[in-house]
Structure 1
């Protein structure tokens, strides 16, 4: 569960790490692409079976569905607002990437 939560936090906020460490944008873009693919095409995140396996090993019942559906939907936010949440998440990621572009442009202008 913690790994799932960390992954979601990284997808949402990892682009801001690239403001400090620009090379961090590459793994963030990969993670974001992975997350968008899972959401868009309805694939099961590979972390879900892994989480279910470790829960079963510990004698617990697995999450069954995906992390978001099991832990967040209808608990943290109502299901009817999921599209709004996805759009807001996309805006946060795009702002982090746009901010990186501005910072890199300014740095190159200072050097140039």
Structure 2
């Protein structure tokens, strides 16, 4: 995102974009964390929505991105974009306000990457296994 003109953004715009990315990032993490237990519970309780093909593809795609970044030892691109926007606005660290700080504390845990990588890869493997254990409906079939 550095080549997209962050330096030319007014600081208030850069901070608003950084906050939006932080909120989006937290929503994606929550979705990726909640889906496997929801799929298992949904299979047991016969919830139809856990077999929705589009929803499952979205989840599996998100977990594939997380697993690939973990395997490469890279930071999430959303984390990088948020940090660049904050630096461009003259802010260091995550959000400065109460809500931004609360979101950042929920999202960014102080755990070594060496611990997180196996967790990310394991969660992605579980998500992939659930594709076969609780298969989504085929296109056009209810």
| Common fold by TM > 0.5 | yes
Paired residue for 1:25? 56
- Structure 2 length-normalised TM: 0.47
Uncovered stretches (5+) of structure 2, i.e. residues with no partner: 1-21, 40-48, 95-103
Residue 8 of structure 1 pairs with residue 45 of structure 2: no
Relative distance call for 1:37 and 1:90 in structure 2 (3 A) is: closer
Relative distance call for 1:73 and 1:95 in structure 2 (3 A) is: farther
Residue 72 of structure 1 pairs with residue 106 of structure 2: no
**Alpha-carbon distance in 2 for matches of 1:34, 1:87:** 10
The alpha-carbon deviation at position 5 of structure 1 amounts to 1.9
**Alpha-carbon distance in 1 for matches of 2:68, 2:121:** 15
Paired residue for 1:53? 84
- Structure 1 length-normalised TM: 0.56
Relative distance call for 1:31 and 1:84 in structure 2 (3 A) is: closer
Q: Is the 8 A contact 2:70 2:117 kept in 1?
A: no
Relative distance call for 1:51 and 1:88 in structure 2 (3 A) is: same
CA deviations over 1:65-100 (Å, ceiling 9, x no partner): xx8xx92024xxx77854674476347635754563
Bigger RCO (CA 8 Å, 6+ sep): 2
Residue 40 of structure 1 pairs with residue 71 of structure 2: yes
Aligned residue for 2:31, secondary structure, equals: helix
CA RMSD of aligned residues (A): 3.7
Larger-gyration structure (1/2): 2
